[in-house]
A and B are shown apart, each in its own frame.
Chain A
Amino acid sequence: MNKDMHQFLARLEREKPWDVLRIKKEVSPEFEIPAILQQVEFRRKDPVIIFEKVRNLNGDLSPFPVVINLFGSRGRLADALDSTVEKLPFDYLDKEKEVPPVVIEKRKSRVKEVVQTGKAVDLFAIPFITHHEMDLGPYISAGTCWIKDPDTGWTNCAILRIYVAGKQRLVVNFNPARHTNYIFQKYKRLGASIPMIVVIGHHPAFYMGSQTKHLVDEVKIIGGVMGEPLELTPSETWGREVLVPAQAEIVIETELSTTEEDIEAPFGEYTQYYGGQRLNPVADVKAITYRKDAFYLDIMPGHADHLLLDAPMIEAYLYNRIKAVVPGVAAVHMPVSGTARLHAYVQLKKANDAEPKTVIATALSSDYRVKHVIVVDDDVDIFHDEQVLWAIATRSQWDKDLVVIPGMMGTRLDPSGNGIITTKGGIDATKPFDVHAFPQRLSIPKPVLERIRLEDYLDPEALR
């Protein structure tokens, strides 16, 4: 049986009990869960939080405990791939390969333990969360939406924000720049509605696999990243024609309209602004299936839980793209300070003075969200903002080291842009290739640094 979210959490509680908080007091899904997470973050902690007693949208005590902040630490993402924080993007690249799924019977599929179809379907039984003050209402924030390309048969898996509009009605946000929208437009031209499943809750590696940037059958990449073929089972609505992940927590089967739209948003987004109210396609819910002990997984929008999930994958993708053109790239980091999407720091061991701007051009065109690229030498730690800022302060002259490209495709969620049109740029903050013409950075002799142990000089209490 596939690894799943329950196993991951059980292992985490066993091996790193400080990384899981359980809250037994009853909470409301409207603002209270986000408020508690934010208070925990103010104390500079980032555990997974499991809320054991949550009211649902009917006002009853929900059978689903809520899990939030599962992706809120790079350490946990690394654990999901049996990797380390430093090696995570590279290990992700190694695993990002196609492994065909396997189809298993419904009776072996835990997601089929409870099945609701027809009039029994009730979204309000699930404790969907209202996160921010101006959000339109409860949203599904950790749902990976599976849609099959009608031409290739490949399945695209994307985490889309989904407004819970009624007991059997969802409104799904579509972004013009995403792969999902290209597929949506194909169905629209055919005049057809779209079978779409929403998968909520699985092993973190499942989610990381679904973030692949490649135009492939993403179900196979999920298997590669999980390290095992993904188990699928027939859906209730379409049978073997549309398959669902057999060991997911919850699956919602919907028919997505290409003609009917309804109001959606405002919704607090990863840029930490609200997207304005808009019209988006409607999805009618045909079935909900779930495990008897299902968790409801939520991703906290605009917080580390949201920002970090995609960061290692973007880093891996950019690293590969840059490496093909500039082999001296050492590492790529998407800092949380830049929403883990808009800023990219690139560490480079350069072979000539033309390489930094080549890196900038390559990175800016590789992901529509990447807006600013800062290239630094390999003596600058790109996991610390202050080091990158120091490199800009002391190694760049903006009359020759700036790249500015107007009119590129960006994210419409950046309020400084003009819809999806934005100006992108980069800074070459590297030393000249002829380093003998450049001053030396401060250093303490390495043998002394390695010999000195703080414990020999200081009380352990002083080091806490």
Chain B
Amino acid sequence: MAKVHYVTCPICRKEYYIDQILYEAILANPKQKLLCPFCRKEFHQEMKPKS
């Protein structure tokens, strides 16, 4: 099955998802910018590798 990774925007608290490649980019660089599609604000979010 396709892997998507849900993130919660810390500003508007709404949830959306990122794809596997962006998820791996965040694991490599926790400061990687994300952009909330609901409030259109930038944020970054630390993610832990899933087993």
Which of A's residues lie within 8 Å of B, judged by CB?
Answer: 134-137, 263, 265-266, 274-279, 412, 414-419
Contact A275 B19 (CB under 8 A): yes
Q: Digit string of B13-51 for contact with A (CB within 8 Å is 1, else 0)?
A: 000111111100100000001110110100000000000
Q: Which B residues are closer than 8 A to A by beta carbons?
A: 1-5, 16-22, 25, 33-35, 37-38, 40
For B7, the closest partner residue in chain A by CB is A277
The answer to whether B4 and A276 touch across the interface, beta carbons within 8 angstroms, is: yes
Q: Across the interface, do A279 and B2 meet the contact criterion of CB distance under 8 Å? A: no
Q: Which residues of A contact B34 (CB under 8 A)?
A: 263, 277
Whether the pair B16, A266 counts as a contact (CB closer than 8 A) is yes
In the complex, residue of chain A having the shortest beta-carbon distance to the beta carbon of B40: A137
Tally inter-chain residue pairs, CB-CB below 8 A: 53
| Given the contacts A135-B37, A266-B37, A278 and B19 also touching, CB distance less than 8 Å | yes
B27 to chain A, nearest CB (A): 14
Chain A residue with Cβ nearest B18:
A277
How many Å from the CB of A260 to the closest CB on chain B? Answer: 13
Question: By CB atoms of chain B within 10 A, which of A135, A265, A274, A416 has the most?
Answer: A265
Q: Are B16 and A277 in contact (CB under 8 A)?
A: yes
* B19 partner residues in chain A, CB cutoff 8 A: 265, 275-278
- B22 x A134 contact (CB < 8 A): no
Q: In the complex the two chains form, what is the Cα distance from A275 to B4 in whole Å? A: 9
Decide if B20 touches A419 in the complex (CB within 8 Å): yes
Residues of B within 8 A of A274 (CB): 17
Which of B5, B21, B40: most chain A Cβ within 10 A?
A: B21
Please give the distance in Å from B45's CB to the nearest CB on chain A: 11
In whole angstroms, how far apart are the Cα atoms of A137 and B25 in the complex?
22
Instruction: For B4, give the chain A residue with the smallest CB separation.
Output: A276
Interchain CA distance A136-B4 in the complex, whole Å:
16
Q: A266-B17, A276-B18, A278-B21 are in contact. Are A418 and B2 (CB under 8 A)?
A: yes
Considering only CB atoms, which chain A residue lies closest to B14 in the complex?
A134
Residues on the A chain within 8 Å of B40, using CB: 137
- How far apart are the CA atoms of A279 and B38 in the complex, in Å? 18
Q: Which chain A positions have C-beta within 8 A of B25? A: 279
Q: Could you name 25 residue pairs across A and B whose Cβ atoms are closer than 8 Å? A: A134-B16, A134-B37, A135-B37, A263-B33, A274-B17, A276-B4, A276-B18, A276-B19, A276-B20, A276-B22, A277-B17, A277-B18, A277-B19, A277-B22, A277-B35, A277-B37, A278-B18, A278-B21, A415-B1, A415-B2, A415-B4, A418-B1, A418-B2, A419-B2, A419-B20
| Interchain CA distance A276-B37 in the complex, whole Å | 11
Most buried by A among B2, B4, B38: B2
Contact of A416 among B2, B4, B20, B38 (CB under 8 A): B2
Q: Which of A277, A417, A418 has the most CB of B within 10 A?
A: A277
| B28–chain A nearest beta-carbon distance, Å | 12
- B33: nearest residue on chain A (CB-CB)? A263
Closest B residue, CB atoms, query A277: B18
Bound CA span A357–B35, Å: 47
Minimum C-beta distance from A275 to chain B (A): 7
Closest Cβ of chain A to B1, distance in Å, is: 6
- Given contacts A134-B16, A277-B17, A278-B19, is CB(A414)–CB(B37) below 8 Å? no
Which 10 residue pairs are nearest across A and B when measured between Cβ atoms? A276-B19, A415-B2, A277-B18, A263-B35, A276-B4, A136-B37, A278-B19, A276-B17, A278-B22, A276-B18
The CA-CA distance from A135 to B36 in the complex, in Å, is 10
Q: Is the CB of B2 within 8 A of A414?
A: yes
How far, in angstroms, from A263 to B37 measured CA to CA in the complex?
11
Supply 5 further A-B pairs (C-beta < 8 A) apart from A277-B18, A279-B22: A266-B37, A278-B21, A415-B2, A417-B1, A419-B2
Inter-chain contacts of B35 with A (CB < 8 A) = 136, 263, 277
B21 touches A416 (CB 8 A): no
- CB–CB A276/B5 < 8 A: yes
A379 CB to nearest chain B CB (Å):
38
B38's closest neighbor in chain A, by CB? A134
A274 to B6, CA, bound (A): 13
A277 to B9, CA, bound (A): 13
Residue of B nearest to A416 (CB): B1
Q: How far apart sit A276 and B38, CA to CA, in the bound complex (Å)?
A: 14
Closest chain-A Cβ to B15's Cβ sits at a distance in Å of 10
Assembled-state Cα–Cα distance A416/B1 (Å): 5
A219 to chain B, nearest CB (A): 32
Bound together, the chains give a CA A415 to CA B34 distance in angstroms of: 22
Tell me the complex Cα distance, A415–B17, Å: 13
CB proximity of A307 to chain B, nearest CB, Å: 20
Q: How many angstroms between the C-alpha atoms of A417 and B1 in the bound complex?
A: 5
A266 to B16 CA separation, bound complex (whole angstroms):
8
B16 contacts across to A, CB distance below 8 A: 134, 266, 277
